[in-house]
Amino acid sequence: MLRVFFSLFLIIPWLSFAGVSLSEQRIIYQGEISAKNNQHVAQLLAEQPSINSIQITSGGGNVDLGMDLAELILAHNLKVHVKQFCFSSCANYVLLAGNPTTIAKNAIVGWHGDAASARWRDSDIDAMVSHLKEPEKTTKWQALRTHYDEIIAKAVTREKAFYAKRGVNHDLLTIGLSKELKRAAVAQKARGWSYSKKALNTLNVSNIEFADWQPRSAKNFPLLIISELGD
């Protein structure tokens, strides 16, 4: 059984600062997961071994960079704190890396797909080669299609290995892509989905401390709420 509730609650607070900073023994990571921000995290961890946690507010970023950040967190056995917002690559990887991860009462956490669903569309590649003439245009198009498909294939393999290592059911990233939920998302103009504590436990997510958190949406960021999973 799968039950879905859609709700509109909070307004996502605007970030007053985007980037990486340090507050005592905690790294503050705000904004897109990027190579620059990850490098800053790695530098801080190398320079200050006393750092014990990372607080993240992020709408995500490149899937490989999300996994890079998660691997850094795992390597340094950091706690992860989500106080406001964690979506896409932040939820896919960083959320699962904390030892433990704590989610604040009013935080918004959401998913919208796995690495495989990030495949470049043909129309995107069409735009990249629109300035070229034949036969160069077709040759370049095919080369780009192969290149991007190889990138996604490598990310898919890495992602599945990460989930196996964490002991988490990979369905966490794909349940919301089912036909039933896609129709619900379109009808409700949802950006993705979130899970109840019970549903997350069913998917073997065991490193999260929820306190009094419940899944929720924002007025400008609606999410489908998946409350229960089963056969």
pLDDT at 50: 96
Which tops the pLDDT comparison, 12 or 183?
A: 183
CB 228 within 8 A of CB 5: no
pLDDT in tens, 97-139: 999 999 999 999 999 999 998 777 888 899 999 999 999 999 9
Residue 49: cis peptide before it, omega within 30 degrees of 0: no
Longest dimension (CA), the chain: 61
pLDDT in tens, 202-228: 999 999 998 899 999 888 899 999 998
Mean pLDDT of the chain: 90
For residue 202, the Cα-to-chain-centroid distance in whole angstroms is 19
pTM of the model: 0.90
Query: Cα separation of 116 and 153, whole Å?
Result: 7
Query: Cα separation of 218 and 13, whole Å?
Result: 10
